[in-house]
Amino acid sequence: MVWFYERSSHIDWARIEELMVRAVDEARERICRHPKRVLLLPPDITRMHSGAGRMTEIIYQILSRDADVHVIPTLGQHEPHSREQNARMFGSIPHERIHAHHWINTVVRLGEVPANFVEQVTHGAANWAIPIELNSMLMQEPWDLVINIGHVVPHEVLGFANHNKNYFIGLAGKGTICASHIAAACCGIENNLGTLITPVRACYNKAENEFLGSLPDFYIQIVMARDPEDRLVHTGIYVGDDLETYLMAARQSREENIKVFEEPLQKVVCVMQEDEFVSTWVANKAIYRTRMAMADGGELIIIAPGLKRFGEQEEVDRVIRKYGYVGTQRVMELYRQNQDLQELAHATAHLIHGSSEGRFRITYAPGHLTKEEIEGVNFGYADLQETLRRYPPDKMREGWNTTPDGETIYFIPTPSAGLWATRKKLYERPAGYEC
């Protein structure tokens, strides 16, 4: 059930601290009065702008007075944090209390979501089982309290992050991530984005009910939106232990984080922050979140000063460089023919999600990758400094902007925090994918 929630135009940090104290007090009343071993499950540094790291630090400070508290950032298959990144994300939490999840080396298999269920909920788009492999520290060590902290925002696989995404992506094994991501890709990214319960989320909900029922856990779900001064602020905090906790937050995110247009956009400029986005694996959120708004023949420019690679792991980086972002039909042809794409099915899904399907141009202005590297994966290249001079992020606001020479562009400073779509693409979807 939903224990409590707060919704406002701006929840400041003084109030957030009070809400974190209340969340801990509620957990002591409802789950364990005197927890001795506690596990905190926040997002990784790609969600640093959400403030979830600071909330994790507040909770750690409260509980570590009397308990042995540990933190596992829900990395999925992202790179583990460095000591410096942990300090930047989680403040005063000791580095040795923060444990790196590894999607191959630190997981245990619990079972599977059967193929017939997957086929049913995906409307026949996928017909394979999804193995459930989760972090061994989570599943095999004794915990009195497990706290999930997550930013609820439109998401290409689950419709909206977060909730049990922390488990079945953030702390999952290769088998789970690969099988579920390619299933989501087969369903179609436009069908997933902004949907409250996507087919893959239905699979995760089933897995949570069957395999995680004994965990002493609850959720803290964060919603953010831009205020009149164009600042990204907290507008919702939802605390509870069930699916409704996510659904309430997702409904608010649907209201506040989806920008709907009557006509598609011809030219969009996005910024992917240097300290959060160093690979196209995560920087391509700029593509995922804007593709439903882009006009055929339009252009999406992505300013990415931190970009230095394509994949988060070496083998994924190699696959992206080898095949490139070439659209669903070609990627699926290659998938059926090549073992490396079959073994790294999540990378195959990523190649599908990161393509414009030939509808619009995608141009990257990277900080570290060369023109040859960018064009080699089927993106356009722009010089970073020239692009920053033409589209200076510090001089633009989210929305319509006009350059000194009269060009009109739509500027998005934090594409990972929302979804942009035309009314037609958002609401005219197949049955079962309603927003």
Q: What is the per-residue pLDDT for 235?
A: 98
Q: What is the per-residue pLDDT for 434?
A: 62
Are 223 and 202 in contact by the 8 Å Cβ rule? The answer is no
Q: What is the per-residue pLDDT for 48?
A: 85
Are 72 and 43 in contact by the 8 Å Cβ rule? The answer is no
Give the per-residue SS3 of 279-306.
EHHHHCHHHHCCCCCEEEEEEEEEEECC
Long-range contacts of 336-342 (CB under 8 A, 24+ apart): 340/315
Within 10 angstroms of residue 109's Cβ, the number of other Cβ atoms is 14
- Say how far apart CA 357 and CA 255 lie, in whole Å: 28
Domain boundaries, given as residue ranges, for the chain: 2-256, 259-427
* Cα→Cα distances 176→203, 299, 337, Å: 11, 34, 22
Q: What is the per-residue pLDDT for 47?
A: 83
pLDDT tens digits for 257-274?
999 999 999 999 999 999
Tokens 């619990």 belong to 110
Within 10 angstroms of residue 100's Cβ, the number of other Cβ atoms is 14
Please check whether the two domains, 2-256 and 259-427, share a CATH topology. no
Q: What is the per-residue pLDDT for 430?
A: 75
Q: What are phi and psi of 246, to 5 degrees?
A: -65, -45
- Say how far apart CA 322 and CA 399 lie, in whole Å: 36
Mean pLDDT by 10 residues, the chain (435 residues): 97 98 98 98 90 97 98 91 95 97 95 98 94 98 98 94 96 95 91 94 98 97 93 96 97 96 98 94 95 97 98 94 95 94 93 94 98 98 98 95 96 93 88 65
In single-letter form, the type of residue at position 432 comes to: G
In sequence order, the 6+-apart residues with CB closer than 8 A to the CB of 285 are 272, 277, 415, 416
Q: What is the per-residue pLDDT for 20?
A: 98
Kindly state which CATH superfamily the domain 259-427 is placed in.
LarA, C-terminal domain (3.90.226.30)
In sequence order, the 6+-apart residues with CB closer than 8 A to the CB of 21 are 62
In sequence order, the 6+-apart residues with CB closer than 8 A to the CB of 299 are 266, 267, 268, 360, 361, 362, 363, 380
**Which CATH code, of 3.40.50.12280, 3.30.1490.190, 3.40.50.11440, 3.30.390.50, is assigned to 2-256?**
3.40.50.11440
Within 10 angstroms of residue 187's Cβ, the number of other Cβ atoms is 23
* Residue in 362, 333, 331 with CA at minimum distance from that of residue 348: 331
Predicted TM-score of the model (pTM): 0.89
